[in-house]
Structure 1
């Protein structure tokens, strides 16, 4: 598009965040890229272990979110993409993420092999948790107290009441079945 001076107008693009269907982050990222929309789904590499095997997989660093670099005109196309639920809003407008934040996330993922986003608000006394790595790998227990970036918990099935302080990043909430 040209203005009256004959120079090209560049659409103002900025990083926005979209909320996706559960476990659709990588699919949405691929669908957006196939439409020519620049998107970024930060991934971390983890080792999943089952009783019979281990497998290395890449999972999204931010569950349920994908970053998109779009102009206002492209927002409609993003919204219409299968798996996109909506943009994340702040003060009644799509939340804008600074370029420097995206660059920091990319840099962090290149230099850090063990990273995780943990919402400490999700952990509270009485929660059932499982240890993800270390000496007590796969041990289950009950949270007694959450403090800062660690929890005080009691382990089950060790034939004694062992109380230990464990980093929040090293535990997984057990879901009720």
Structure 2
């Protein structure tokens, strides 16, 4: 007679990314920690200027996202947390983030105080762009150089070469003048 030993699979805790209600990242992080979950909402300190004062505020590094370390069985508890909309999925399953990536992110947040996430939106040197917001609203020009989250661009239709520094977030690509060959 053979005896079978029932071994329960070990449920290893992994980091997952959850999507939150707008401007609920820090609240969701706090609520998850109050429930005993390990969560991480990286924040950056930004100086906001109002008409009458300046104030340093903590803003989430990733708008709308919080990391949580759970085993797969605890997913339903996370979904029922106030402010949580869902898990970020990859190929139909909740996306897993490696432990070492979270540790790197924590180290960066502890070491540097000017961290920001920038979407380059496919802007390259030589591209024609239009400014969608700010002082030069609706002006078109050419990208001369990309400097972090800003670009240097020139306006050639003003009878002079005016060069300005513009945040990438204020640009929309008009006609890409660069040819890409395969």
**Pairwise TM-score range, normalised by the shorter structure:** 0.7 to 0.9
Matched, 1:128 2:128: no
Count of matched residue pairs: 154
Unpaired segments ≥5 residues, structure 2? 172-182
SS of 1:125's partner is strand
Q: Distance in 1 between matches of 2:141 and 2:61?
A: 28
Deviations 1:1-57 (A, max 9, x none): xxx599x97531100000001100001101111111111000101110112100011
Q: CA RMSD in A?
A: 2.9
The aligned residue for residue 141 of structure 2 is 144
Q: Distance in 1 between matches of 2:31 and 2:142?
A: 43
The aligned residue for residue 36 of structure 1 is 36
SS of 1:105's partner is helix
Unpaired segments ≥5 residues, structure 1? 131-139
Question: Structure 1 length normalisation: TM-score?
Answer: 0.74
Dislocated runs of 4+, deviation >4 Å: 145-149
The 5 A counterparts of 1:14-163 are 14-121=14-121, 125-130=129-134, 140-142=135-137, 144-145=141-142, 148=146, 149=148, 150-153=150-153, 162-163=162-163
Contact kept? 1:145, 1:151, Cα under 8 Å:
no
Deviation of 1:95 after TM superposition, in Å, equals 0.5
Q: Distance in 1 between matches of 2:41 and 2:131?
A: 30
